[in-house]
Amino acid sequence: MPTLTVDQLHCVQDTPEWTPDEVYLVVAVTGRAGRCRLRAFSLSAPEWQGLAPGERRAARLEVDPDWAPDSLVLAALLERDGEQDFAPGGRLDQLLESLEDVRRLFISLQDQPRVFLAAHLLTEMDQAIARAAGDDRPLGPAQLIEPVPGEPLEIGFAGQGGRYRLRFSLR
């Protein structure tokens, strides 16, 4: 199975703060059918910190080592303002618990369209992040990452005055 990675962060416009932006990605990955394990984690790279508008920085970070066509990959980009991000701890556990409740509800509804489940998970992810974000700020709503093998996928995140683009790839 191919591995889903995020390869590049492009700062289109940074947030209007006095200090440089520190961004990180919150990712939730689950599958349908037999692959229904849910994982949630945060990703960041030192190269991503303090980007100026127009800058692009590479950093190959693994998102899903077992990507399959039935995978549901949700991602939200946040700007760190607090002391602590969603890296393993209570806030990430809260997010995981909220998403797990939604996922469990839909396990029995395997005949429902993929977009139906994805829409509910994205809504719950946005709400869970809003409840647990503390001082950190989401840069727009969570997005469904739907890569195609061999074709890089750019996803835009915009909010709080900042605009970023992330490039995902299957390898």
Specify the DSSP element, H or E, that contains 124: helix 114-132
How far is 99 from 152, CA to CA, in rounded Å? 27
Residue 99 predicted with pLDDT over 80: no
pLDDT number for residue 28: 84
Share of the chain above pLDDT 90, in %: 30
Average pLDDT along the chain: 83
**Greater confidence, 157 or 108?**
157
* DSSP class of 126: H
pLDDT number for residue 165: 97
Strand order of the sheet with strand 56-64? Answer: 56-64, 4-13, 162-170, 153-159
Neighbour tally for 34: CB within 10 Å: 7
Share of the chain above pLDDT 70, in %: 86
Give the position of tokens 């605009």: 163
pLDDT number for residue 105: 66
Give the position of tokens 């809504």: 123
Q: Are strands 4-13 and 56-64 parallel, antiparallel or unpaired?
A: antiparallel
**Greater confidence, 97 or 161?**
161
Right CATH for 4-170 from 3.40.50, 3.40.1000, 2.40.30, 2.60.40? 2.60.40
Give pLDDT tens digits for 77-95.
Answer: 988 776 655 555 677 777 7
Closest to 12 measured CA to CA, from 65, 46, 55, 61: 55
pLDDT band at 46 (very low <50, low <70, confident <90, very high): confident
Closest to 134 measured CA to CA, from 94, 81, 77: 81
How far is 24 from 156, CA to CA, in rounded Å? 14
Q: Domain segments of the chain: what residues? A: 4-170
pTM listed for this prediction: 0.86
What residues are paired with 143 via a beta bridge? Answer: 75
**Greater confidence, 107 or 65?**
65
